[in-house]
Chain A
């Protein structure tokens, strides 16, 4: 077996572990109505929720060939010390072109990384920052379904993350409903389940398949 074949076999093995399919829907709710949604979620989801406050940076590998490859990096956000060296890399693939599927289905690869100089490291990879935001919110689960409710903030000055430099992006909270499944599994039954679950949050939130790739 040549080195190239060995490399491909190795990548296939790793893909079984790390490459997943994500079924996802989005919606939003005014901050004033958030409490109603939280009560609804507390009633139908698994007991308890997990609060989080994270900093997401979206990078692209810009080359002369198109399209750009986008990677998202996330870490825990603290306004006091922004020095968490633990990051999560996420590659999000192009959505499946399936007009009959009620949700967005896309390939994702997650990887946890640790670096004392992550910004220099991503520069080494040729990645350039497109945008960044801070997300603060809560995560609920209902079996395999993950419900993320968060408010987004951006910094007025890139690189400065003190409280006075942060501003809200909107008066609404972003709602994300997602399930990740094994890449080889048929996603249609899961997509239907996710759509059915989303109808339980209606009329508080109307979750939609946002076709963000259509310009």
Chain B
């Protein structure tokens, strides 16, 4: 697993981005999906949090409760047994199916990069285009960032300034899939608040 930069693109379509990448030599690898379900507390003392899944990690589930920064956000990665355990906690935490986000689209491979381009929907209502660019050879952010930034500069120059918080690291710490899902969940939060 590499380091991923997840971004939202405006005034474009998934087909336009795919065409641009295919012209540059990318190959279609297959499809992918990401989903995020908010869990709402029904009692005091319980927090609002999100359960996410990514088709690249089919046996895993990721939970994140948003705080000011990633480091202070309570978070965990689990196997899918946790989905069932959460179901047992439904007296205090209930899945908000109306607030569920899904991203579905295609995955492309361009040399050492995997690019996932998908349409984000909330209950079948399109909310925006999300692109995940993964640099596969390294799972250390400080190592991967120069080349990942160059890729974003080349293909999506308008997004290069909005570098996600989890990619602003100075120490060579290992990157985890939870950080990719955190980026998705932040984008979903912004989309959720935005009127169509």
Query: What does the 1/0 interface line of A98-111 toward B look like (CB < 8 Å)?
Result: 00000000000111
- Of residues 13 to 39 in A, which have CB atoms within 8 Å of B's CB atoms? 14-15, 17-19
| CB–CB B87/A11 < 8 A | yes
**Cα-based distance from A17 to B85 in the complex (angstroms):** 13
| CB–CB B49/A124 < 8 A | yes
B-chain residues with CB within 8 Å of residue A81 when the two chains form the complex: none
Cβ-closest chain A residue relative to B176 = A114
Most buried by B among A14, A91, A124: A124
Q: A117-B74, A117-B75, A125-B93 are in contact. Are A71 and B43 (CB under 8 A)?
A: no
- Chain B binding site: helix, strand, loop or mixed by DSSP? mixed
Q: A64-B43, A109-B81 are in contact. Are A91 and B88 (CB under 8 A)?
A: yes
B-chain residues with CB within 8 Å of residue A89 when the two chains form the complex: 78, 81-82, 85
A121's partner among B75, B87, B88 (CB-CB below 8 A) is: B75
| CB–CB B88/A126 < 8 A | no
| CB–CB B123/A3 < 8 A | yes
- Of residues 104 to 132 in A, which have CB atoms within 8 Å of B's CB atoms? 109-118, 120-121, 123-126
Q: Kindly list 4 other residue pairs between chains A and B, CB separation below 8 angstroms, not including A89-B81, A109-B81.
A: A91-B84, A113-B77, A121-B76, A126-B41
Q: List 24 A-B contacts (CB under 8 A).
A: A3-B123, A11-B84, A14-B80, A14-B83, A17-B80, A19-B84, A61-B89, A89-B81, A89-B82, A91-B85, A109-B85, A110-B81, A111-B78, A111-B79, A112-B81, A114-B76, A114-B77, A115-B74, A117-B74, A118-B76, A121-B65, A124-B65, A124-B74, A126-B92
